Amino acid sequence: MLEGKKIVLGICGSIAAYKAAALIRLLVKAGADVQVVMTPDATNFITPLTLATLSKKPVYVDYFTADTGEWNNHVELGLWADALIIAPASANTIAKMATGLCDNLLMAVYLSARCPVYFAPAMDLDMWKHSATQQNINKLQSFGNILIPPGSGELASGLYGEGRMAEPQEIIDFLLAKLKKKLPLADKSVLVTAGPTYEAIDPVRFIGNHSSGKMGFAIADKFAAMGANVTLIAGPTAQVSKYQNIKRIDVTSAAQMLQQCLLYFKAADACVMCAAVADYTPANVATQKIKKQQGDINIELKKTTDILKTLGEQKTNGQILVGFALETNNEEAHAIEKLKNKNLDLIVLNSLNDSGAGFKTDTNKVTIIDRDLKKTAFTLKSKTEVASDICLKVTELINK
């Protein structure tokens, strides 16, 4: 959720300024573009060079850069930012923010900002509890500024209590929680399956397919980016999720995938079954490796449980169920039959006859068909873009 976000990080004169280094590292690691603005007093606690190295941008302290005379445009900075975070926010800076006092570059950026403003107080216990400070904080919140509450612990003075700045990871978690509430699928639960299944013949060999899991993982990532709580049930694959908050469950066989789907489906607002699940599995699995012998060998196969149909039978009102149809002939007819027979809300059709679509590619070409048989055909796109198209269709149904 922070990827690509433009963040101005304001740092004030406080011993807690040392935490800014770790905060910048976390923001950059999350994909944010960070511009640091320091008050002159903040440079006494941590050097601009340290923060410039971590943010990979020059740090602004004054209205003008002394050696070049270049103007650090506070208006442009205020308009550029997607968020302004002032951490640490000293009692002095909080008072200035509350009264509109503008005697340094950071306060000029604050007064120019049109984005959400977060502030993380850092001060001693008695300063924090003082009625003037509390009045200023209430005033800032009435302006729409967002307080990142301080923690309790040992303070620089040796006292113990409230006033210490929130830890960098706590600030990141706070930001993510706030951002997530604004996303279209906040508080929604989505179940996604991805990859192949491997059906054991013996301890060494299996029956499988060519699914890489790329499409399913792209869908799970997109749902997570839209704020959903995602559970991803993955067959054997080398794919890795971009989002750490995706709950990943690894399985091998169709039976294991069925078991996990039944466990998580009831709580899901939507379920997207992207996995390429085996239709047949060996009736008898050898306990020892089968040795090569003269002549042919026959392996008896039995049908696996149709996971998609099973979930379709259990689907309740309001749940969205999406299936995939990878076809080689009579594509549309087969997809529509699957849509109806398995009680789906959407079927995503793609054909192995389309160049660039199918297994192991980074692209796909799909047609999405809904319950009313309305078809939306898409051109060849990257699987990330296809995932966006699918997730937007699902979101429309969830929020209908």
- What is the reported pLDDT for 360? 64
pTM for this model (two decimals): 0.75
State what percent of residues in the chain have pLDDT above 90. Answer: 74
- Name the pairing type of β-strands 83-89 and 6-11: parallel
Encoding tokens for residue 311? 């979930």
Position 127 pLDDT exceeds 70: yes
Encoding tokens for residue 354? 């389309």
Q: Which amino acid is it at 362?
A: D
Q: Mean per-residue pLDDT for 105-128?
A: 94
Candidates 209, 229, 330, 341; catalytic one: 209
All structural domains of the chain: 6-181 (3.40.50.1950), 189-280+298-398 (3.40.50.10300)
Per residue in 326-379, pLDDT (tens digit) is 777 888 899 999 999 999 999 999 877 666 666 667 888 899 999 999 999 999
Q: For residue 399, count CB atoms less than 10 angstroms from its CB and return exposed for 0-12, middle for 13-18, buried for 19 or more.
A: exposed
Rounded CA gap, 376 and 378, in Å?
Answer: 7
Per residue in 149-181, pLDDT (tens digit) is 998 877 777 777 788 899 999 999 999 888 888
Mark whether 104 is an active-site residue.
no
Cα→Cα distances 293→201, 290, 297, 301, 335, Å: 16, 9, 8, 20, 42
- What is the reported pLDDT for 28? 95
Position 69 pLDDT exceeds 80: no
Tell me which residue of 175, 145, 149 sits closest to 163, measured CA to CA: 149
Q: For residue 204, count CB atoms less than 10 angstroms from its CB and return exposed for 0-12, middle for 13-18, buried for 19 or more.
A: exposed
| Beta carbons of 389 and 346 less than 8 angstroms apart | no
Instruction: Report the binding-site residues for CTP.
Output: 279, 289, 324, 338, 342
Q: Mean per-residue pLDDT for 185-195?
A: 94
- What is the reported pLDDT for 357? 63
- What is the reported pLDDT for 400? 79
Q: Mean per-residue pLDDT for 260-279?
A: 96
Position 196 pLDDT exceeds 90: yes
Position 216 pLDDT exceeds 90: yes
State what percent of residues in the chain have pLDDT above 70. Answer: 97
User: Does residue 117 sit in helix, strand or coil?
Assistant: strand
89 band by pLDDT with thresholds 50, 70 and 90: very high
- Name the pairing type of β-strands 320-327 and 367-370: unpaired
Per residue in 104-114, pLDDT (tens digit) is 999 999 999 99
Cα→Cα distances 106→17, 59, 77, 172, Å: 15, 11, 10, 21
Per residue in 19-54, pLDDT (tens digit) is 999 999 999 998 899 999 999 999 999 999 999 999
Position 292 pLDDT exceeds 90: no
275 band by pLDDT with thresholds 50, 70 and 90: very high
Q: What's CA 287's distance to the chain center, in Å?
A: 42
SS (H, E, C) 344-363: CCEEEEEECCCCCCCCCCCE
Tell me which residue of 280, 302, 275, 286 sits closest to 205, measured CA to CA: 286
- What is the reported pLDDT for 358? 62
Instruction: Report the binding-site residues.
Output: 279, 289, 324, 338, 342
Tell me which residue of 165, 88, 161, 174 sits closest to 130, measured CA to CA: 161
